[in-house]
Structures are given as C-alpha cells and as structure tokens.
C-alpha cells in the first residue's frame, strides 16, 4: 500500500495544523500550568440555562429539529438581534441555527465560493478563516492590521488588496486575537468600499456582547449592506456556552437557502437540547450575561495595566477577552517567549504569529481566567522578565550577565 498521505486530498494536505493546538497540548501535559491560552469563558453556563436543558431531556426532547432550527429559537434570535443590534431578520426565511459560529463560517463560504474566488481576511485573525476559505475552494487574501492603528482594519488597506477575483470580505470584530473592534465611523468607510467593489461580507460578530468601550455596531445595520451580508453570532462567548455548539447565521434569503442546503446534507440540525437551552439564555439570562461581561471588563483593566507596569507595550483591547501585548522589547521572539514562559514559569500564552504575520512579536493572553489566577500569572511573568538576561544568554550560549534582570 502506498503512503496514506498520497491518498489524502491535496487541499487538505496543503492546510497546516493549527499552531494554537500545539501550545494547548504542551500546556495540558505540564503540571501546575496557569493557562491564558484558551479562547473560552472560564464561567460555567448560567444555572437557569443548564436547568432548561435538564428539563428538556426529562420531558423527552431528544429528536432532530427542523433543519433551520427550532422555530422558537429562530424567533428568539430575531428578537434578540433587533433589540441588541437594531438589525431585523425574518425568523422563517433569514435565520439558520448552526453548530456554533464555526459551522456558519464554513457554510457561508461554501455557499458563495467558486474555485479561485478570493476572500479578504484581516490579519492577525482567528485561525479558522483561511483554512475554511481553502476548504471551500477559494483563496484567502490577508489584509494586514497594524499595532500602530491598535490593529483596527482600515478601509484604505482593504482597497489595496481588491482584485477582479475578490468575492467577499470577512469582517471579525471584536477581534480574536487583538481585541480590536470597529466603531461606526470605521465601519462606514468599510461599507463604502464594499458597495464600490460590489463585495459580499461575512461578518463574524461572535464577540459583539463583549464590547467595553463603544456600543457594538452590527455591520448589516448600516444602510444598504444588509442584503449582501451574512451575520454570524452565537451562544459560545457571551453566554459561556462553548460546549453546547449553537450559533446563528442571519442574512438574505437566497444566501441562507443555499446554506440550508449544505447544512441539511452535512449536519441536519444543531442538538435539540442545546437549542432549547439557547432559547432560555436569549430570553431569560441577560442579567447573568451582563454580570459575566462586567467581570471581563474588570479583568481587562487589570491585565492591560499589569502588562504596561511590566514594561510590555499593550494597546487597549476594546472587546472580546484577549490582550495582545508586544514582547519585542524583551529581545525574544513571540514563539521563544511563549515556550520559555511555559517551561520556566508555567504560564501558557499563545505566540502571536499563529494568527498571521502581523502577530509576530506579540502574545495573546486570554483574560477569560479568574482574577486570582491572573494575579498569580502576572507574578510569574514578572519573575520571568527579571530573568530575561539569563534566558537570552542561555539561548545564545554565552555566560549570563552579572546584572541579571535587564530588560531590553
């Protein structure tokens, strides 16, 4: 038998494994690690939501649902988006309940891409976008964002990357890993480019509720773009429901119909008990949601000031639950920094380069971690920074300086 590699699809072979996973695996096999690496809430799903699921199971709700999702959930989603983000969708024709926003990203792309179509993706960004574009037969085209602009996506930069093959723009704000978000003025300029070049937009707003500085503006709420935008939201982040796997794709009818075709043959439906829990969360758990958001906000301040105190420059992350400080001042590259920090002080962070070349020299630190853990992590990081000179010397194979903790 030939090597199995030869039998695999060239498209799949061309996709590198996720760089984040490698760090999770390293962290998971080391005792006593404080992880600032994971991108999910440390909170357990609010009790009333779990209770609604238990109740659904006790009442025997264990079947498939309609492909598009439970009508009660689609109605709840439409009401929620209207109340929170002033964007309205018809629950019968313009809402699809997906298995997390993840499925929404995949189905939205597969519904529109032909081989060779280009999709603009801001970078640094969530690691799934590029591979999903490739799996859908398209070509990812990365649009850089820069630390000098607080990693905000600029309309003028987007325009530089548009070609006759550009089919869609993927927006992602608040952003993972940078925490950058886009305000109404930024979005207005992006809207003008989208209309000028007749682009479709996939707007991943999974962190919408986690906006600390500006009220979140949903892209399809702007004039004239709703009919060309697929909005992706879901339960994972704001309601601490990552494991339930429920997300929502909302958009123009023809695009949703095409996604329903993919979804009905590949997924069938999201789990019924999770959908019932999501109805409870969207209609009755706003207080619990807001309490969690308030805690993230408190931690965000703590984290940013801790990094600045340590001498690492850190732009203000305005949303999500990540800080993305620079480690360039330490003289270590982000990958070495993350590896040494894990090895010496047992703190796991993610090197920025896994999110794209714009992330080189930064580390992603999630503050979806309790305050006590965060404080302990910062103590360990300070200790690590004090030993920097020795670490650099050791890596370069020279004798440590007697000055010890000098930071570059």
Ligand X SMILES: Cc1ncc(COP(=O)(O)O)c(C=O)c1O
Q: Which residues bind ligand X (CB under 6 A)?
A: 39, 100-102, 126, 172, 176, 204, 206, 234, 236, 242, 247
Q: Give me the least distance between CB of 74 and ligand X, in Å please.
A: 17
Q: Give me the least distance between CB of 102 and ligand X, in Å please.
A: 3
Nearer of residues 166 and 176 to ligand X, judged by Cβ: 176
Could you tell me the two tokens for 20?
A: 């984040």
- Which of 283, 329, 323 is CA-nearest to residue 301? 323
Nearer of residues 200 and 241 to ligand X, judged by Cβ: 241
- 364's CB contacts (< 8 A; 6+ apart) are 37, 177, 322, 323, 324, 349, 350, 351, 352, 355
The owner of tokens 């952003």 is 175
Nearer of residues 345 and 358 to ligand X, judged by Cβ: 358
Nearer of residues 65 and 242 to ligand X, judged by Cβ: 242
Q: Give me the least distance between CB of 360 and ligand X, in Å please.
A: 20
- 166's CB contacts (< 8 A; 6+ apart) are 117, 118, 119, 120, 141, 197, 199
Q: Give me the least distance between CB of 98 and ligand X, in Å please.
A: 8
Q: Give me the least distance between CB of 366 and ligand X, in Å please.
A: 10
Nearer of residues 242 and 274 to ligand X, judged by Cβ: 242
Q: Give me the least distance between CB of 110 and ligand X, in Å please.
A: 16
CB-side exposure of 27: number of CA atoms within 13 Å?
A: 20
Q: Give me the least distance between CB of 176 and ligand X, in Å please.
A: 4
Is the CA virtual torsion 5, 24, 27, 361 positive or negative?
A: positive
Helix (H) or strand (E) segment spanning residue 323: strand 322-323
Nearest-CB residue for ligand X: 100
Pairing verdict, β 200-204 and 229-234: parallel
Q: Taking the C-alpha atoms of 390, 392, 395 and 401 in order, what is their torsion angle to the nearest 10 degrees? A: -40
Nearer of residues 218 and 330 to ligand X, judged by Cβ: 218
Distance CA 282, CA 298 (A): 24
Nearer of residues 117 and 204 to ligand X, judged by Cβ: 204
Nearer of residues 126 and 384 to ligand X, judged by Cβ: 126
Could you tell me the two tokens for 204?
A: 């991943």
Distance CA 108, CA 81 (A): 19
Q: Give me the least distance between CB of 38 and ligand X, in Å please.
A: 9
């Amino acid at each position: 038998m030939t090597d199995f590699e030869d039998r695999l699809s060239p498209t799949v072979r061309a996709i590198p494994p996720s760089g984040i996973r490698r760090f999770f695996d390293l962290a998971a096999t080391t005792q006593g690690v404080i992880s600032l690496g994971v991108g999910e809430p440390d909170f357990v799903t609010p009790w009333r939501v779990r209770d609604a699921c238990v109740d659904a199971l006790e009442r025997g709700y264990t079947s498939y649902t309609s492909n598009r999702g439970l009508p009660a959930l689609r109605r709840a989603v439409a009401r929620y988006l209207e109340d929170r983000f002033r964007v309205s969708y018809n629950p019968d024709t313009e809402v699809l309940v997906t298995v997390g926003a993840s499925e929404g990203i995949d189905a939205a792309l597969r519904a529109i891409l032909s081989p060779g179509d280009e999709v603009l993706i801001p970078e640094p960004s969530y690691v799934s976008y590029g591979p999903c574009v490739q799996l859908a037969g398209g070509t990812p085209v990365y649009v850089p964002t820069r630390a000098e602009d607080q990693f905000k996506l600029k309309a003028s930069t987007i325009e530089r990357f548009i070609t006759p093959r550009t089919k869609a723009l993927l927006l992602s704000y608040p952003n993972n890993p940078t925490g950058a978000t886009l305000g109404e003025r930024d979005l207005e300029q992006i809207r003008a480019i989208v209309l000028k070049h007749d682009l479709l937009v996939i707007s991943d707003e999974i962190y919408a509720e986690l906006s600390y500085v500006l009220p979140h503006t949903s892209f399809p709420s702007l004039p004239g773009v709703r009919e060309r935008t697929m909005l992706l939201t879901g339960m994972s982040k704001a309601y601490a429901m990552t494991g339930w796997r429920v997300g929502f794709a909302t958009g123009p009818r023809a695009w949703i119909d095409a996604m329903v075709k993919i979804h009905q043959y590949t997924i069938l439906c999201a789990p019924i008990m999770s959908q019932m829990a999501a109805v409870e969360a969207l209609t009755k758990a706003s207080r619990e949601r807001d309490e969690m958001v308030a805690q993230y906000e408190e931690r965000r301040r703590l984290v940013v000031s801790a990094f600045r105190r340590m001498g690492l420059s850190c732009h203000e992350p305005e949303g999500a639950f990540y800080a993305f400080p620079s480690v360039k001042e330490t003289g270590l590259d982000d990958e070495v920094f993350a590896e040494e920090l894990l090895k010496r002080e047992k703190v796991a962070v993610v090197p920025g380069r896994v999110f794209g070349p714009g992330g080189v020299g930064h580390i992603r630190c999630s503050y979806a971690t309790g305050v006590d853990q965060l404080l302990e992590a910062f103590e360990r990081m300070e200790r690590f920074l004090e030993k920097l000179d020795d670490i650099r010397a050791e890596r370069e194979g020279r004798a440590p300086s007697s000055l010890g903790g000098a930071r570059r």
